[in-house]
Every structure is written in structure tokens, then in C-alpha cells.
Structure 1
């Protein structure tokens, strides 16, 4: 791939909390239209990586480039304005706003797409949200809240969608609905970075996988390579 296709590039990223270092030279690359996973056991630095990319946590060293521009340690709203949409761990929807108010609160068409994400489009993606449009965020089930969090990120019309724990705590039926939606987004050319513990659907969805152990990448490859490497799956993922 040419360098022109690189959407997100993370190199030599170091970060931590107080005197405790968490990331030790993290690296990651996502090309335009590519779906990539960040995998690993709990506490290995996945969420810290996402927070450092999004400017929610200050990185100590290293590079974070988006569309060739340095975004390391930009305020999170500036990172979003550049075209990165985040579905955070825990969803973090606005509990006292209705579904529709959640969706329009941060909506923007910054990319000037020919087919931008609008209320009607996200309601087509998740019809249940249209049924619950007047309900407050705290009146939704966990699955509905995750659909809302994904739709809220899409309403910013991002070039890259990041999901931290995409299906954690959801029922199998809702999980399948989320995976189906992500497959559709990928088919439409949306670049996606996803963290999740459910390996089987990720192997079907993603182009490339990065496994993190103690704050650094210890394995990377495509789905065929990960499927064919039971030692890596067992050692780093317990799968």
C-alpha cells in the first residue's frame, strides 16, 4: 500500500498514569477503509492506547498521525473534528437526553460526504432506535445504549470509527446485530478500529489484527494467520 492510503499511524507511543508506565512503544497502522482489531488480555494497554489516540490521556512520547497530520495530545474534540469517531467503553451516552437528542447533540457533516450519516440513515441501521427516539438514554437497555453510542459516533461522519469493547455485556442476539452493522459499515468503506473479546466474529470482520501484551505489540497479522496460530491465541488471548 502507498503511504497515501495510511489513515492512522501510531509509532513508539509511550504513556502511563503517574509513575506507572502502561505503553512501551505502542505501534498501530490503519489504512483507509480497513478494519483493524486491537486484541489482548485485560490491563495490557488497549484502552490507554485508544485514550491516547483520542487526546483523552496525554502521551509521553511517540507519534499519532491521522491523514498525515500530527494529532498527538490534541484535545479530544479536535481529534473528533479531524474525523475520528469514538464509541467509548461504557457507552457514555447522555442519560437525560432522548435518543434523538443524543444523536443530534454532536452531529456534524465535516467530511462533505455524498451520502452522509443522518437521523434517517442511523434509524435504518438500527430500527430499534427510531422506535425509542423519544425515550431518555437511561431508559434504554444495554444493547440499545450501545446502538445509540455507535449511531452518535456515526452522526459526526467520521473517516475512522473506534469501538472500545464493542459488544461487552450484551446478549448474543444484540451482539449479532452489532456485528452485522459493523460488517455493513466495513462494506461501505468505513475504516474501523475495534476492541472486543469475541474473537470469532472479529476474525470474520477484520483485515488485520494487532495483539498487545504489557503495552507493546507482540503479534500482528491477518485473520488467516491468526486462525492458523493457536499458540499465539492461547498465549496472548486465552482463546
Structure 2
């Protein structure tokens, strides 16, 4: 579904990514891991076209998208839950969810307000609340719901549970497990190795903008040296 090969990305004259490779298959949950400042968010921004890659290939749903503007990449079926949530502060929960709603693939069971409210009952309780009136956890639920309302083929979450209370983190992981069970392809960034290894099929670790390790959950859990060296676990 998504395949990155040899991605190199710059901020001005400063190179941040050095040949990053990554692949997400249909229905897979894949993680991108590494310490802060190692290029995870830049990789997401390259995939989505927000910070276009200078060289390499980004193929999404069998189409080369590296040179496309971000809005056209999104329309191919990519849903993003960005770092920092970035909900619309002066729109209500309902308006946030409907703002970018689409069903471009004509799914027979598309994401709707009711389905999002079933996934996150707390949002239904806050339907008329403005985005800036929500707690951090509620904003993250709203950001996930908003991305799902685009009916994405691939859902990307950058720092899925950063800064959230433990109970809210648990609710987010339960949500992602449910989405996986429904066949949703997901690429997720987070720091919780325990939660990610329970959820995901495969993992990629990057260090200073380069791929340094990849494998499945059993392999990652068994390799304490990799965890200590690259993840600080």
C-alpha cells in the first residue's frame, strides 16, 4: 500500500533523512520508532507532502506521490493524525468531524458521525463543544475521528499518545486495536514499546535520519541491545 525507497529530505540546506525505506501493506499496523529528533516526524511529513522529499520514491496505492502536493496525496486515501493534534479550535466537535469528511472509495460501511461516536463515546457527550474547550485526550480522540471521517486507506498517527494520561492512552490503544481488527492499515509513531509491540505487525527504527533496524515484535522484544541503543528502554 505504501512503499518508501531511498527518501532524502532537507530543511533548507540541512539534510534530515538519508535514504529512509519503509513499507506498509494492506491491513498492516507498522511502527516508526526512534528517539526524539531522529527524523520520525520528517518521514511522516515527507509521506504526506508537507515537507517534500528531494530524492527517492514514495509509492502509495501503486502511484508515485513524491512530487504531488499534500492535498492531492490526502485525496489518494491518506489520513493523518498530526503531532500536537491540531484540531480546529473554533469549530465544534461535530464541525471538526464534518470539515474534511469524504468517502472517495465509495465504501459500503463508511465512517460517519455515529461510528466515530461509537468508537469514542466521550466525543458524543461533547458534540457542541469547541475544539479549544476539550482536554488533551479528547482532542486526540477528535483528531483520530476527523482522520477516520476521510475514510482513509492508510491512517498515520504521529505521537499517538504523547502527553496523555494513562487511562486515555489505554483508550487510544484499544481504539487502534479495534481498527486493526477491522482491517485498517496504520502507521504509528509512539514511544511506548510495550504497547506498540502488542499492537503492530512490524517495526522500523531510525537513528539520525537513517534506517538502523526492522523486524517483528518478537524480534524487537528479544533484542534488548537494540532497545537500549536506539530507544532508550
TM-score, normalised relative to structure 1: 0.97
List runs of 5+ in structure 1 lacking aligned partners.
Answer: 1-6
CA distance in 2 between partners of 1:202 and 1:111 (Å): 29
Which residue of 1 is the match for residue 67 of structure 2?
Answer: 73
Counterpart of 1:142 (choices 136, 143, 147) is: 136
- Contact kept in structure 2, 1:23 and 1:215, CA below 8 Å: yes
Counterpart of 1:184 (choices 164, 178, 181) is: 178
CA distance in 1 between partners of 2:196 and 2:67 (Å): 29
SS of the residue corresponding to residue 96 of structure 1 reads coil
Which residue of 2 is the match for residue 4 of structure 1?
Answer: none
Counterpart of 1:21 (choices 15, 18, 33) is: 15
- Contact kept in structure 2, 1:35 and 1:192, CA below 8 Å: yes
Measured after TM superposition, the shift of residue 112 of structure 1 is 1.2
Matched, 1:238 2:232: yes
Alpha carbon RMSD of aligned pairs, Å? 0.5
CA distance in 1 between partners of 2:88 and 2:193 (Å): 30
CA distance in 2 between partners of 1:21 and 1:139 (Å): 38
- Contact kept in structure 2, 1:52 and 1:73, CA below 8 Å: no
Measured after TM superposition, the shift of residue 73 of structure 1 is 3.0
SS of the residue corresponding to residue 189 of structure 1 reads coil
List runs of 5+ in structure 2 lacking aligned partners.
Answer: none
Matched, 1:204 2:188: no
* Of 32-41 and 108-117, the range deviating more from structure 2: 108-117
CA distance in 2 between partners of 1:82 and 1:18 (Å): 28
Which residue of 1 is the match for residue 44 of structure 2?
Answer: 50
Measured after TM superposition, the shift of residue 75 of structure 1 is 1.4
Which residue of 1 is the match for residue 53 of structure 2?
Answer: 59
Which residue of 2 is the match for residue 132 of structure 1?
Answer: 126
Matched, 1:84 2:78: yes
SS of the residue corresponding to residue 169 of structure 2 reads helix
CA distance in 2 between partners of 1:95 and 1:56 (Å): 21
TM-score, normalised relative to structure 2: 0.99
